[in-house]
Amino acid sequence: MGSKRSNAPGKPDKPKRSVKFRKAKVRHTVFTLGANRLTGGWLKRKHDAQQPVKRHVEISTPSWPKALDGLRIGHVSDFHFGDLMNLEKAMMAVEALASESPEIICNTGDLVDLEWMGVEPLARAFVELNPPLGNFFVLGNHDELEDGEAVARVATEAGIHVLRDDTMTVSRQGHDFRIGGVDWARTPKQCTDRIDRMLQSGRPDLLLCHNPKGFDHAAAVGIPMTLSGHTHGGQIARRNKPDANMAFAHKRSAGLYEIGDNRMFVTVGVGAWFPLRMNCPAEVVIITMRHGEPSASHD
Ligand SMILES: [Fe+2]
């Protein structure tokens, strides 16, 4: 029989950290903190002073249910709570949401950057906004780096609905409105598998999927609207061309996309991996959904 190593009495167990977490931590230390140090802290000071912009998008499509016409969604993503996103900076985005009073708040993942501890007040701040249809959240890849179960628990305990390959139905003006969400999935095939698992509890009107690579399958199974994040819009984009950016691994990396009558909006997010954004400001998005002829407008 083997013996188990344990910490000395009185010392708490150190969390077990995955190879992925340790690699991400090294990358963060070298490329983010290291680059910032080389600029004498200038990068982070500039980054910290930038407020998220508020963006209003109106999307009309015949596939959106008539009964849910006019739904106003507050869409946020990729806070990356940690060194580049303290509570004070995160609250700028929460306040931007509060000023718009959306009916529902949808957070498409990467709430934390590396370590999850300390994020609890941010999770509670979303709930304190008290949107009438509630707060919904799905896990992103960064949420899973240290302990995805812990991030999901913190959100749930705060009062956020965490959709893990699952759906939930709420009532809006007497009509059922089904929201679905899937855990982090890296490849299109993994996205498909998770979406199929979610569909066992019914087809949602609105899907939260951190990775925009889920859209092909979401559209194929007839989900009218998908919300995604993950790409950060590459953080560096061509002027006035948010879709032409550094997120080379993604063909859909910023803004609105369509397949037939189904739609996906990819937000460039609130936070950052690296304290620099060019032509790609952090954003809080207010989406109004309309049933009608295909059209889209934004400010
Ligand atoms: Fe992210």
Cα 78 to ligand 1 centre (Å): 4
Which pLDDT belongs to residue 5?
40
Taking the centre of ligand 1 as the mean of its atom positions, its distance from the CA of residue 70, in whole angstroms, is 29
Residue-wise pLDDT tens digits, 72-84:
999 999 999 998 8
Task: Specify the pLDDT at position 154.
Answer: 98
**Ligand 1 centroid to residue 16 C-alpha, Å:** 22
pLDDT in the model for residue 162:
98
Tens digit of pLDDT at every position of the chain (299 positions): 333 444 445 555 556 789 999 999 988 988 888 888 888 888 888 888 889 999 999 999 999 999 999 999 999 999 999 988 999 999 999 999 999 999 999 999 999 999 999 999 999 999 999 999 999 999 999 999 999 999 999 999 999 999 999 999 999 999 999 999 999 999 999 999 999 999 999 999 999 999 999 999 999 999 999 999 999 999 988 998 888 888 888 999 999 999 999 999 999 999 988 888 889 999 999 999 999 999 999 88
- Measured in Å, residue 220 CA sits from the centre of ligand 1 at 25
CA of 153 to the centre of ligand 1 (A): 19
Whole-number Å distance, alpha carbon 136 to ligand 1 midpoint, is 17
**Ligand 1 centre from 4 Cα, in Å?**
36
Q: Ligand 1 center to residue 229 CA distance, Å?
A: 7
Quick one: residue 222, left, alpha or beta (phi over 0 = left, psi -120 to 50 = alpha)?
A: left
The whole-number pLDDT of residue 11 equals: 52
The CA-CA-CA angle for residues 179, 259, 226, to 5°, reads 20
CA angle 58, 135, 210 (to 5 degrees): 70
pTM assigned to the model: 0.92
* Residues 255-292: tens digit of each pLDDT: 999 999 999 999 999 998 888 888 999 999 999 999 99
Domains with residue ranges and CATH for the chain? 52-298 (3.60.21.10)
> Residues with Cβ < 8 Å from 32, sequence gap 6 or more?
83, 84, 273, 274, 275
What is the 165 CA–ligand 1 centroid distance (Å)?
19
Rounded Cα distance between 6 and 48, Å, is 41
CA distance 174 to 183: 29
Residue 17 region, left (φ>0) first, then alpha (ψ -120 to 50), else beta? beta
Q: How far is the CA of 230 from the centre of ligand 1 (A)?
A: 4
Beta pairing class for 206-209 and 225-228: parallel
Ligand 1 midpoint to CA 143 (Å): 9
Distance 142 CA to ligand 1 centre (A): 7
Residues 182 and 46: their CA atoms lie apart, in Å, by 34
Beta-carbon contacts of 288 under 8 Å, excluding residues fewer than 6 positions away, are 56, 57, 58, 59, 70, 71, 72, 73
How many A from CA of 111 to the centre of ligand 1?
A: 8
Between the CA of 271 and the centroid of ligand 1 the distance, in Å, is 7
